[in-house]
Each structure stands twice: as structure tokens, then as C-alpha cells.
Structure 1
């Protein structure tokens, strides 16, 4: 990589060509990254020319340039949103002070941990999705998968830039570690459990990009408030790309539902066996997938009471979602918040100090946002005249972290015995039979403009291209 044009090879707005130390760090890291992409990135796709969006600057004209490119040649860039002059810290104990341009020594370990945890999720999702290209329902969907993959790769670069630039030897070691852990690896797994789950089929992928990438949105929004200005500016730019990932998920589930309700009306039936015989995914199965992905994702926000969350907020490292729009004192010392626990076989609310409940505050904001998409899916069903409603399960359902961990609670929020849970869990979460059926539908369709039987085409193509455009050229 020596002697390369940095702004050409690695589009950036961080003066990379003038920073020799950073260049040397990235020269060492990049070949390892490309090796990881070859080993763990999209399976068997290295020679495809894919119609991808590449960011070459942060302005509206530059951050979304489209063209066919081979994924290993994708220009993973490093971008920060433009700095805000005289930016002040606007929450926590340092409120009113100047935002930090360097890492304060006393917050170094916590900031590094936050950046590493965020960074670890990015390659993890690429690893979880690496085999999906082999069963894509259309060329349009295959291209969307690859766009999500390269952008998760770019988000990894964003975090690695911060580690290399601001954390010295520790940062370089952490950046290597981000390529050494692998999703689901028994000896060296990813940090967060949701990123060690398999993404075995396209319905799971759409649910993941709707629900789990939305967790990414909320975590990035909280970090975009950070007193550490380079982190805030980095995550603000990442959010522009995260929106597409959630679009892929929401529209993918919506198109799956559309195809199902069309067949329900053609056959005049809601009989699951008949719908499965016709090769579409019945609505009760879609509901069970929602229940699973929603519950696994809300665990990602962490325990409902957390001294770490309090420390991160008071130190100015991580704010709340839309911190600037809130009307309290942004210090929260005397404030409280309600969390749930199980007492005497019932769910009860109890007040705890808000600083310790900030994971729960973020989780509740996320839940409100998630329900919006579910309502939009319901409009597809309603428009088809079918009396069925998808719902988000209760936030206490199927939880494995915090005070609700392991509690047996129905999707409606009723505490039940172990025996009742075991008898009914197959109605609430995807069964082995559900997963096997969905897997059986996953045949590869790659002729331009053709779609698998279980999913409807999109209303429009990418970047004003027709739906039957050659989004992927197989060489």
C-alpha cells in the first residue's frame, strides 16, 4: 500500500494523506481486513460486479455515488460529519464545558470499551449473513444484501480509525481483535450474544435489518451526543448509512407479507397448511419471527439497571436518544424511571434512579420506534382485507438479561408457569418446523426482474433504476 493516493484508495475527510502515524497503522491493518473479507465476507461473491453506493464525501452529492464495483475493491472510506464550531458538552457532569477533541485520560478505558463494542457488531453481522447470497430471492435483494455488507465494513473502518488515531498501542491491538473474533466461534465469539446467532434465511435477514440494525441506530444516536467530538461526528455520519439497512428490513418483510396476502386472497384461505403448500410464509410464522427478533434485540440494550450506563452518561461519553430535544436538566441526579420486575408471580413496575435506568430509557425509545414499522406492515394486511394483526410482544417476553432474565412471560405480558411456557412456546417463537419450512423456500433467483415465489417485487428499483436492472453482474 506504500506510495498510494490515500484520498483515492481510502476516501476520507480526516487528512489521512498528512498523518504518517495513522497511515502506517492502516497499512498494517488493511491487508488483514481484506483477508478477513475474503475468509468471512459474502460467500463466493468476490468477482461479482455489484451496483453499489460508495461514500466519497459527507455532502449530499458525495456520500452516495453509484456504480458497478467488485466488493474487495470497494473504497471503504473514513468520514466524520463536519465539526461544529465551539461545540459544548450538553449533558452529564461536564455540561457547558468545551467538547473534547482528544481522549481525557480518566475516560480512556470506558471510551475504548464503547468503541470496541460498537465496532465488534459491524463485522459480526457480515459474518452472520455471509451465506445468504447463495439463496437470494432476486438480484435486487442480492444487491441490497451486498450494500448492507460493505457498509457494515465501512462502519468497522470508522471505529478502527478512532482506535488507531486516539488510543495508540492499545487501539491497534483492539483493531486487530475486531478481525480475530468471529460470530458464533466457540473459542473467540463476538462480544454481544445477538451477534453470535445464525441468520439462516432471508426472513431472518429482513427481521435482523429491521430490528437489530434499529438497535444500531439508537446506539449510534446515543453516541452522536458524546462529549468526545470525533466519536460524535463519526457516528452521525454512520447514521446516514444505517437508514438504508432498516429500509431493506422493513421493505423486505412488507414484500413478504404482500405476497402472502395476495395468495390468501387468490386461494380464499388462511389455512396454514394450504398456504405452505402454495409456497408462501403464513402470517402466524411471520409473527413468531417478529417475537424472536424483537426480544433478542431489546436484550442488546443491556440490563435495566446499570451502573455503567450511569457512569457513561454522567461522564459525557454516551447520551440519550435525541438528548437535545429533552427538557429536563440533562444531569438527572434526582430523577427516577420505572422498570419492570416479577414479584409474587406478577409483573410490577418500580421506580429506580434514572441514571441507573438509562439502558431502559433507550430500550423504551427503541420499542416506540419499532412499533411504527409493525403498524406499516399491518396496513398491507388491512388493505388486502384480511382480519389479522401483527404485534410487538411485551417487553418482558423472552428476555435473557437484567431483572426479567429467564422469567416465563407471554407475548401479552402474563407471567406463566414453566409448564405452561413449555406447552405454548411453539405458538410464540419459531419452531424447528417453521425454520425448516422457511429454509425450504430459499432457492436462488438471479435472473433480472424475477423474484422467488414467497416475496413480492419492490415498487421501485435502486437509485431510479428499473426493478429488472442488472444489479449484480456474475463474472
Structure 2
């Protein structure tokens, strides 16, 4: 089960050749995918030889092979974690029953909806990032961008396989539609708002891969608990690849901070104007980017009270993050959870049934995880002797989804009037001037071992290669 068959047109470890109808359907979808990749994938980079990793196993150790590949020739495929024949549903009303190997009829529509929503995010991020290769700060970073891109493409394949294999004609139509929507398209946008935002520069890319791919980690972790076994096995392997995407974001911001702190110490200044003139990104601008990407990402978890979340959990379709490590009864019918509301111009917590608050449970898990990484960013500044500290804004800040949507809240949690918000928002969220300045720093650095002035080199290369390794060959 762990080996992947690369002799087939579509690499897989699901015995695709044993189902000729399914194989033909996916082989019919494959050219459409490749056309989408050519049109919407990384711009101007289709002929480059890129030092990419390709999965050769779904086991945690030794699962990846590194070599030069042209991205249109990357061997995307269908990889599921090994099947556990004894697996039981371990939450919800189906607790203790055998996990489903086929989509149960009464849950078919909800399962399809879950898979389509997750699948839609994968090509969306490729589309959002397609221009970034033109302004990469180093070959190391360019390679990491392309690695993220091809793995998002494979995650799309993972969801498309499930749609084709388990949902018949409806599934095939949904799989086709995943290539017809485009990020930011006015007529046919992506399903979730954050995936229609632009990713115009590399600081935005690092924030996106740190925060928004972390949303992916928590959503995939919840789906890996699913009583629908093929979905659980699919997302478990996707999580293995997702870890690299978050590494790109966390290490990227760390390196930006390191370089800014270095110049602050050299020039003995905290003045943003002086630092910008020196060609680095000042720390308040980094904080504003953090505020934006964090607030957009926590909206991805949905409304703080959701009947759909309750249905998905009670039905055994989507669990909580690390469901098996929790010590409650895994049914939650008598449990409550605290969520926020605004009353008399102030935020307050109220208790609601936990089943209806499961989006908020997952959001809070994400927030704790995000704050840990921000703490690591702050240690970069602490080691440099810089007093500035990045902070995660209040979770009611800049919200567009749920009970907090449209309520004006400062990063410290103070509820504001509309006039107060307008007077201060330029100090909390990136301005057009901020984005124009960051954009002015962007320009491709294509010499091995060289890095743009605004970012520090990484401490170690990919796959133990040296920093000055030729990660991308321009042909």
C-alpha cells in the first residue's frame, strides 16, 4: 500500500488500473488539469528545471525523492495513507461503528460539499501566487514557491479522486467546476473569500503560507478524523505535505525580521522612513500585514455558531482537531462552549451548545497554534536586541463572517464606532502606500546564493543542499 506506482499515466497507490471506468474518467480530466496549469499556474516558469520533491511513499520516513523536474511534467497523482481494516468511527452519533468505505446515502450531499469546499482552496492558492515567481528574492525561495504550487496541485488531485470515485456524475461535474472557478474572478470566484484575495508580494506570500496554510492544517486534521475512511486516509497524507507550506511561511517571516533587525542595529534606528530608505521592511508594516492575513484567515473557519458544523460532527463526517486525544464523551450533546457577542457596546462571552460552536473550537485551536509561531518570530527580534514585538490581534478584529462580522473592533479588543475605526485603520491594516512600498522591493534574484536586500538567507538549504545550490535552472 505504501508504494506509489509511477509506471501508470496517473501515479497512484489506490489500484486505479483495477477500475477501468474510474481510470478513464480521471484520464479524461487530466488534460483539462494540465491546460489549467499552463494557463493559471506559475507564470513564465513552465520550462524551468526545478529541484522538487516527489512523493514515493506515504510512510512518514523516507517518503520523498528530490530531483530536477519541469513543473508541467511533475507526476501528480492519488496517494492515500494505508487502510486500517479495524478503524471505527470515534465521535458523533455513529460512535463505535465501522468506518464507512463508501459514501453513505444519507450523508452523501454533505460529504460532497465538504470535499468540494476543501478541493476549491487548492487550485485557488496556485492562482493567487502565479505571478510571484517573477519577483522571487532568491532561487531558494523560488524553488519553495514552486514546491508549494505543485503540492497544492496534488491536493486538488486528491479531492478530485474522491469526487470521481464516490460521487458519480455529480462528482465528475463538481471536479470539472474546480477548474472553471478562478481566484478573484468576478463572475466565477472561488468559494471562500480568503482565496479570492490577491497575493501580490512575498511578504503577503509568507503570511499566507503561515496563516492560511495553517487553516489548511486544522481543516485537514479535522477531516482526517472523518468516519468516511477514504477522506480520512486522503487528508492524512495531505497533512504530510502541508507541513512544508507552513515552514515556508514561518521561516520566510523570520528571515524578513532578521534582516530588518540587522539594519536597525547597523543604522541604530527604529524610524520606518529611514529603514524603508535602506531597502528593508519596517516592523510596523510587518505587523499590519500580520493583522490582515490573520483576520482574513480566521474567517475561514466559518460562523461561530453553525448548525452545519453540528450536523457534520454528529453525523461522523468531520471531527475536531486531534479528536482522539480529547477526554470527553465525543458526542458533546450536553457540553457547552463560550463564544463572543457584542452587548451594550462591549464584547462579552456567552455559553452555547458545543455542537453548534465547533467552528469556534477549531478556530481557537488555530489561534493557539498561530500564537506559538508568532512567539518564535518575537524571539528573532529579542535575540537581535530589538524591543518591538509582533502581536496577534483580537479575534473580533476585522471580521467579515459570523456574529462579529462588521463590528468595529481594535486589535486590543476595544469596540469602536465607525468614525474611530476609520481614524485608526491605516495604523492597523496595510495601506496602499505600504503595499506599494513592499512591491517596490520586489525583484527576481536569480544568482545562486544571492538574496534580495530585504531578507536574510536561510540557515540551511533544502534537502541538506548548500545555500548557493542551483535550486532552479532557467532554460
TM-score band w.r.t. shorter chain: over 0.9
Can you list the C-alpha shifts for 1:378-416, whole angstroms capped at 9, x where unaligned?
000000111111010000100001000010100000001
- Cα separation, partners in 2 of 1:329 and 1:354, compared to 1, 3 Å: same
Show the counterpart of 2:91: 91
Q: Distance in 2 between matches of 1:15 and 1:154?
A: 17
Q: Please state whether the residue corresponding to 2:348 is helix, strand or coil.
A: strand
Show the counterpart of 2:18: 18
Structure 1: runs of 5+ lacking an equivalent: none
1:21 shift after superposition? 1.2
| Aligned partners of 2:10 and 2:27 also within 8 Å | no
Q: Distance in 1 between matches of 2:382 and 2:207?
A: 21
Show the counterpart of 1:317: 317
1:460 shift after superposition? 0.5
Show the counterpart of 1:219: 219
1:59 shift after superposition? 2.4
Show the counterpart of 1:181: 181
Q: Distance in 2 between matches of 1:235 and 1:60?
A: 14
Alignment length, in residue pairs?
A: 471
1:57 shift after superposition? 2.0
1:234 matched to 2:234: yes
Larger mean CA deviation between 17-26 and 135-144 belongs to 17-26
Q: Give the TM-score taking structure 1 as reference length.
A: 0.98
Can you list the C-alpha shifts for 1:183-224, whole angstroms capped at 9, x where unaligned?
000000000000000000000000000000000000000000
Larger mean CA deviation between 55-64 and 178-187 belongs to 55-64
Show the counterpart of 2:149: 149
Alpha-carbon RMSD across the aligned residues, in angstroms, is: 0.9
- Cα separation, partners in 2 of 1:6 and 1:50, compared to 1, 3 Å: closer
1:414 matched to 2:419: no
| Aligned partners of 1:128 and 1:183 also within 8 Å | yes
1:337 shift after superposition? 0.4
1:265 shift after superposition? 0.1
Aligned counterparts, 1:60-459, within 5 A: 60=60, 63-459=63-459
Aligned counterparts, 1:48-63, within 5 A: 48-60=48-60, 63=63
Can you list the C-alpha shifts for 1:119-149, whole angstroms capped at 9, x where unaligned?
0000000000000000000000000000000
Runs of 4+ in 1 over 6 A off after TM superposition: none
| Aligned partners of 1:11 and 1:57 also within 8 Å | no
| Aligned partners of 1:49 and 1:474 also within 8 Å | yes
Q: Please state whether the residue corresponding to 1:179 is helix, strand or coil.
A: coil
Q: Give the TM-score taking structure 2 as reference length.
A: 0.98
Structure 2: runs of 5+ lacking an equivalent: none
1:27 shift after superposition? 1.2
